[in-house]
Copies of this chain bind each other. A is one copy, B any other.
Amino acid sequence: MSHLSDLEIANQSTLKRINEIAEKVGITNEALEPYGHFRGKVDITKLKDKTEKGKVVLVTALSPTPAGEGKSTVTVGLADALNQLNEKVMVALREPSLGPVFGMKGGATGGGYAQVLPMEEINLHFNGDLHAITTANNALSAFIDNHIYHGNELNIDSRRIEWKRVLDMNDRELRQVVVGLGGPGRGVPREDGFDITVASEIMAIFCLSNGIEDLKENLANITVGYTVDKKPVTVRDLKVEGALTLILKDAIKPNIVQTIEGTPALVHGGPFANIAHGCNSIIATNTARKLADVVVTESGFGSDLGAEKFLDIKARKAGFDPSAIVIVATIRALKMHGGVSKNELKTENVEAVKKGIVNLNKHIENIKQFGVEPVVAINAFIHDTDEEVKFVEDWCKGQGVKVALTEVWEKGGKGGIDLAKEVLKVLEKPQQFKPLYDLEMSIEDKLETIVQKVYGGRTVKFTDKAYKQLKTIKENGWDKYPVCVAKTQYSFTDDPTKLGAPTEFDITIRELLPKTGAGFIVALTGDIMTMPGLPKQPAALNMDVNEDGTAKGLF
């Protein structure tokens, strides 16, 4: 195994100029907007003659450990392997939030020899998308408060403004604030709060829009709050959807970068996978489908969260069918699901793997329910033993499930050739994808379907608050939207400590939040953190820049 850090490997890699990377997939110099030498944006208005024909391979995972299972790493490595097998392939990933970078170690660009580059730039500011989203979000807040300040013609109830401000920052101090203090010249005092930018509804809209006109329409549909008579107030009522779209006009162009092996990658959009749907942008995925024959993309957390939302929300909105789905499994996660504690994951324990396989089994079932054949990728970690890996391989084969050990972290694309070959076999066969529920179903039925079929639970319960909100949703005709469940990623239940594949449990919906711009109803279960805090010793303390401008301590 390699002993170099991700940053060292990244720094040792020789990058190609971004125009060379773009050329590989037919992006002309006219359509490529370079940002520095090694990253750029794609002007999609220059690709209108191309059709969206690339097949989509989704990478998901079993219920993850707190450290994650290397889903981005496998996504990148699989694409590199497909590239080595002479497939015309692109990666489509989420872009990282700047906020957490200063809090804890760890970027969001893959790892080892399966990374997208340039790592520093992708993790810091990138091409400005998150800043544009922050600006659009906070401009809307300013427009709302300005409307109230100048006479409040729309009769907005300042106690019922649902729209919060955002920063791309881990800043717990801003979770709950009072704004507008200091007398009549300084606005109207009211309660407010700041979320992190990736939790903004604008980020979700950004990722679920099919183009600039659709973006504008979705922004116009945002419900910012309610009037004194409890009627919804939208961005359309405020007449600022044009301005918000203008703020996002460059951000909405997909960002192009490269993997260590020179495979073209679109890294664009990154909504929280808890209160939002946790997938990269539709525009990027569909742009990749215009340029490549195979598009490898990922969704947040396990099949119960990111993949379910990818399939029921994103794919439905984007109008494509996924052609194969990879489930990333790790020996350490299977052990945790088999009852082993976090501190003992490094010891061989085939029995625990055997017990934990129920979790993988449920994720396989979930994918099959959507009509797509899954491929299990065992993502190799340094402490895995041959016995443990063999058990999982044999178990998969016994179930008739395709499986491959991947060593992309250590070996790059070469370590993913077996996986790539299994995926190609699936791509040759027609799949029968269909979303899990019909949009015409009631919110309650949609939720029950997800809980029973995907989580393996019994039923859904609603708090009084959620019932009240359900009533508002029905009154306003918002019940035909898909649902976006906010749930712990560690368990199929709403209790993060219940690992494996529990049954006989109910899910309690605490709140139902209509996101009429994004076009989904968020169903909150448990505590959802929409503004993280910094640890006592933030990673920022070790960060620095050399005189020549190179970063130190970033990862």
Contact = CB atoms under 8 A, between A and B. Distances in A.
A169 B166 CA distance: 13
Contacts of A181: 175-178
B125 A142 contact: no
A186 B182 contact: no
A142 B243 contact: no
A533 B139 contact: no
Interface string A11-41: 0000000000000000000000111110001
A171 B138 contact: yes
A543 interface: yes
B102 A243 contact: yes
A485 interface: no
A351 interface: no
A409 B204 CA distance: 44
B169 A246 contact: no
A245 B149 contact: no
Given A533-B149, A540-B143, A547-B213, A175 B186 contact: yes
Contacts of A108: none
Given A169-B135, A171-B141, A186 B179 contact: no
A interface secondary structure, majority: mixed
A177 to B, nearest CB: 5
A68 interface: no
A98 interface: yes
Contact of A172 (B177, B187, B249, B544): B187
A120 to B, nearest CB: 9
A168 interface: yes
B45 A37 contact: no
Interface string A203-237: 00000000111001000000000000000000000
B174 A179 contact: yes
A435 interface: no
B177 A246 contact: no
A544 B245 contact: yes
B543 A243 contact: yes
A141 B544 CA distance: 18
A142 B150 CA distance: 32
Given A125-B128, A549-B249, A150 B536 contact: yes
A138 B177 contact: no
A49 interface: no
Interface of A: 33-37, 41, 43, 45, 98, 102, 121, 124-125, 128, 131-132, 134-135, 138-139, 141-143, 145-146, 149-151, 167-182, 185-188, 211-213, 216, 239-240, 242-243, 245-247, 249-250, 533-534, 536, 538, 540-545, 547-549, 551-554
Given A212-B545, A243-B541, A250-B549, 20 more contacts: A34-B34, A35-B36, A36-B41, A98-B135, A124-B250, A125-B128, A125-B131, A125-B132, A128-B128, A131-B131, A138-B167, A146-B534, A172-B186, A173-B180, A177-B177, A178-B181, A211-B547, A212-B547, A239-B541, A243-B544
